[in-house]
Amino acid sequence: MTKRHKDKTSSDKTSSRRNFLKVAAAGAAATVATPALAQTGPTNMRFQSTWPAKDIFHEYAQDYAKKVNDMTGGDLKIEVLPAGAVVPAFQLLEAVSKGTLDGGHGVLAYHYGKQNALALWGSGPGYAMDANMLLAWHKYGGGKQLLEKLYNSIGANVVSFPYGPMPTQPLGWFKKPVTKADDLKGVKFRTVGISIDVFTGMGAAVNALPGGEIVSAMDRGLLDAAEFNNASSDRVLGFPDVSKVCMLQSYHQNAEQFEIMFNKDKYNALPAKIRAILDNAAEAAGQDMAWKAIDRYSRDYEEMQSKDKVKFYKTPDSVLQKQLEIFDQVAEKKSAENPLFKEIVESQLAFAKRATQWEQDTVVSRRLAYNHYFGPNAKKKT
């Protein structure tokens, strides 16, 4: 080996040694830095739902929190408290906006008193859309931008994620079956959102109450009838204890969904990766909720008939038609008073006309198949 080659080899070894030392030093620095980052700990957020702890709706709120907690690997931890733990159910928007709570779980119709157009996310017939289609309008038809505009109009410092499509809600629980629209006249009735105006227009004396207060009000005679949401919630809240008549199908809340809400400042302060998880977790939780609802609601619907001896009746078409007529009157009046209300109605109508025509023309009616397999003339299947 020549002297020149030896010198080059020695130089290469020295260079490699220096590179290794640089890498090692960097690794050592990272090792030192990592515990320092870990010591900062996870970000904790305190949520409140607008539901009693025993209600399946509160369970849905906890399901969302668990998805976030799992997906972030514990870097963000959401704790969900039940209605009333910090503020009353109808004060959730103010509490989140002010930062008293970091976030919350509820429905947009509960903010009706702050800006009536907020109730168009689910309180009404949905212009023939179901809740899943209304969410499609929200994400792809301009609803998201309109909701941000609405919240800005009232100075609400929040970020909102509508999610979780609900099945059509019952007309409600009554002392006797409703056979015509006039049966609602003079009835002391509980509902929320634009439905307040619809049922008032049908002659009912309406009182808006949170879910946890309805059954006790019926038991004390403060209400003659009420609606809440679904078989599982209605059963666990005790509706079968105060009424044995439930009217199914209604247009007053045909296309409602839940809302996950964050304080905007606290949301914006989170890393982009965490914000993306919060957004995508809402969609994942929404689909999971829809599947869980099918399983749980159908079980409780069956057991309310077999165990609780509840009688279910279909709301007559004449009552449903009257709801649509009254809703149109209410929407026209509020559109004249509130430009944002009008803008949202026009946006929903445009999307619904296209989407519902596609649905009506494309999706086969399942009633024929149901009758074939389970109807009175169906052959017994082994």
pLDDT tens, position by position, 323-368: 999 999 999 999 999 999 999 999 999 999 999 999 999 999 999 9
Split into its structural domains, the chain has a count of 1
Binding residues for substrate: 169, 190, 227, 253
Tokens for 379?
């052959």
How far is Cα 181 from Cα 183, in angstroms, rounded to an integer? Answer: 5
Q: What local confidence, expressed as pLDDT, does residue 42 receive? A: 82
Binding residues for Na(+): 228
| Residue list, annotated binding site | 169, 190, 227-228, 253
Structure tokens at 204: 């009912």
* Sign of the CA dihedral running 288, 290, 294, 297: positive
What is the CATH number for 186? Answer: 3.40.190.170
CA–CA dist 38, 41 (Å, integer): 6
Note whether residue 321 is domain-resident.
Answer: yes
Q: In angstroms, rounded to a whole number, what is the distance separating the alpha carbons of residues 10 and 16?
A: 10
pLDDT of residue 103: 98
Residue 13 lies in a domain: no
Summarised one tens digit per residue, pLDDT across range 60-84 is 999 999 999 999 999 999 999 999 9
Tell me: the pLDDT tens digits for 231-282? Answer: 999 999 999 999 999 999 999 999 999 999 999 999 999 999 999 999 999 9
Are 232 and 297 within 8 A, CB to CB? yes
Q: What is the mean pLDDT of residues 205-227?
A: 95
pLDDT score for 3: 44
List, in sequence order, every residue forming a beta bridge with 252; answer none if it has no partner: none
SS3 (DSSP) at 210: coil
Q: What is the pLDDT of residue 35?
A: 36
Residue 342 belongs to some domain of the structure: yes
pLDDT band at 18 (very low <50, low <70, confident <90, very high): very low
The verdict on residue 375 lying in a domain is: no
Residue 270 lies in a domain: yes
> C-alpha distances in angstroms, 135 versus 104, 109, 145, 286?
19, 15, 13, 10
Least confident range of 203-207, 208-212, 245-249: 208-212
Distance CA 279, CA 150 (A): 20
Find all residues with CB under 8 Å of 211, minimum gap 6, and list them. 50, 51, 52, 55, 57, 83, 89, 228, 229, 233, 237
All residues at 6 or more sequence positions from 129 whose CB lies less than 8 Å from its CB, including other chains: 137, 255, 348, 351, 352, 355, 356
**Count of residues in the chain:** 382
Across the chain, what does the average pLDDT equal? 90
pLDDT at residue 25 tops 70: no
Task: Provide the pLDDT for residue 56.
Answer: 97
376 within domain boundaries: no
- 292 — pLDDT class (breaks 50, 70, 90): very high
Residue 381 lies in a domain: no
Residue 35 domain-assigned? no
> Who contacts 200 (Cβ-Cβ below 8 Å, separation ≥6)?
206
- Antiparallel, parallel or unpaired: β 172-174 and 76-81: unpaired
For residue 306, give its domain range: 43-358
Chain centroid to Cα 20, Å, comes to 55
